């Protein structure tokens, strides 16, 4: 089944972003269009499209883009092994905004648990990787 939402992120340097997303985070390159400076990536079913901001081809923007990109949004991505991913980010000296933590979020009379961390990609996009800890009654 195709994901129902796939964000398309403008990046300043596609080659640098691909290195970060594929080598550090473990995304797989599904396909690319080098002539358009575009790539489609996937990690455990989560997909992201990247396109170089100054590249040729069609671009969708309401306003000019300035760093840090993605202000006001973070992308929550579920992974099976958040601890190993966190270690890989540390080894690659990726910027970590929020270290690995366990957080519980209220949802009605229940709490939903995440083991999570937030890293920053080369253009300033915030990526919140998490493992689901299940639910519990609200404390």
Asked whether residue 6 carries a pLDDT value surpassing 90, the answer given is yes
- What domains does the chain contain, in order, with CATH numbers? 8-54+73-137 (3.10.180.10)
Query: 18-54, pLDDT tens digit by residue?
Result: 999 999 999 999 999 999 999 999 999 999 999 999 8
Determine the Cα–Cα distance for residues 139 and 17; give it in Å rounded to an integer.
41
Determine the Cα–Cα distance for residues 123 and 11; give it in Å rounded to an integer.
6
Q: Which residues of 4-30 are buried (b: 16+ CB within 10 A; e: fewer)?
A: eeeeebbbeebeebbebbeebbebeee
What is the value of pTM for the model shown?
0.93
Asked whether residue 139 carries a pLDDT value surpassing 90, the answer given is no
């Amino acid at each position: 089944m195709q994901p129902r939402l796939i964000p398309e992120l403008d990046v300043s340097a596609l080659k640098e972003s691909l290195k970060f997303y594929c080598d550090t985070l473990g995304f797989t390159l599904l396909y690319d269009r080098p002539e358009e400076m575009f790539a489609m990536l996937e990690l455990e079913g989560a997909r992201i499209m990247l396109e170089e901001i100054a590249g040729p081809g069609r671009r969708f923007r309401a306003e000019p883009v300035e760093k840090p990109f993605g202000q006001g949004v973070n992308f929550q991505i579920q992974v099976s092994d958040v601890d190993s991913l966190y270690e890989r980010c540390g080894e690659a000296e990726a910027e970590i905004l929020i270290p690995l933590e366990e957080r519980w979020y209220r949802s009605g009379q229940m709490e939903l648990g995440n083991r999570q961390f937030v890293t920053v990609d080369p253009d300033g996009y915030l990526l919140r990787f998490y493992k689901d800890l299940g639910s519990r009654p609200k404390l």
